[in-house]
A and B are shown apart, each in its own frame.
Chain A
Amino acid sequence: DAKTTQPPSMDCAEGRAANLPCNHSTISGNEYVYWYRQIHSQGPQYIIHGLKNNETNEMASLIITEDRKSSTLILPHATLRDTAVYYCIVRVEGSNYKLTFGKGTLLTVNP
């Protein structure tokens, strides 16, 4: 899997949008960008994934730059329960390839 780079920590006020960046400058053409989060020692939870188009689901939005070298995960209205470590992972879709977790971002949502 290509390597990703994320800031180690970020803070966000409750109710505001949280924008989590990720750099993946060596991403290959057939690799997708996945986002997972882990809330305090629970099992990691899938959030969203995309290839090159922006994606939105009930949890978040994913914005991928045109050159695909970076992306941003957006939590539109962060709540205290969104406090977690967020992992950006690149992976080939449609395979049983493992998810390789790097150093994620600890997002702390403050009241």
Chain B
Amino acid sequence: AAGVIQSPRHLIKEKRETATLKCYPIPRHDTVYWYQQGPGQDPQFLISFYEKMQSDKGSIPDRFSAQQFSDYHSELNMSSLELGDSALYFCASSLPPTPPEAFFGQGTRLTVV
């Protein structure tokens, strides 16, 4: 069965650089969520999209932006990277109202040096 695809799986960037993370949801899923998980931390919600519109916003820094495209894939753009942005970034997709669960990708590990 198709799963949520995230690319790249690993990314190394220098401070003040820009990074773009991509998420391809499960086919027919119209909702995408982004999460950030720092070392030893629990996943923190960043932002979500439903039918290409932002549906909810969490603790996403102003330096970050995201969008969902017409094919439902989503991109998280991160600018002026800081050392503290080093984390695992997960994308999840779901198809409200059923099934109820959100399916997560394997994540992108971003390292800022």
Say whether B31 contacts A96, CB under 8 Å: yes
Most chain B C-beta atoms within 10 Å of own C-beta, residue among A32, A34, A99, A104:
A99
Say whether B107 contacts A43, CB under 8 Å: yes
**B4 and chain A: residue at smallest CB distance:** A43
A residues 56-108 in Cβ contact with B at 8 Å = 85, 87, 93-104
Distance between Cα atoms of A46 and B89 in the complex (Å): 18
> What is the size category of the interface that chain A forms with chain B?
20 to 34
Say whether B107 contacts A41, CB under 8 Å: yes
Distance between Cα atoms of A1 and B19 in the complex (Å): 31
**B34 and chain A: residue at smallest CB distance:** A98
Given contacts A43-B105, A98-B58, contact A49 B100 (CB under 8 A): yes
* B94 in the interface (beta carbon within 8 A): yes
Q: Which residues of B contact A (CB under 8 A)?
A: 4, 31, 33, 35, 37, 42-45, 48, 50, 55-56, 58, 88, 90, 92, 94, 96-98, 100-107
- Identify which of B44, B55, B96, B103 contacts A94 (C-beta below 8 A): B96
* A45 in the interface (beta carbon within 8 A): yes
- The list of the 8 closest CB pairs from A to B, nearest first, reads A43-B104, A94-B97, A46-B101, A96-B31, A101-B42, A96-B50, A101-B43, A98-B45
- Identify which of B55, B90, B103 contacts A96 (C-beta below 8 A): B55
Further 14 A-B residue pairs, CB within 8 A, beyond A93-B100, A97-B56, A99-B33: A34-B101, A41-B37, A41-B88, A42-B107, A43-B90, A44-B43, A49-B101, A94-B100, A95-B96, A96-B31, A96-B50, A96-B94, A98-B56, A103-B42
- Identify which of A44, A85, A93, A99 contacts B97 (C-beta below 8 A): A93
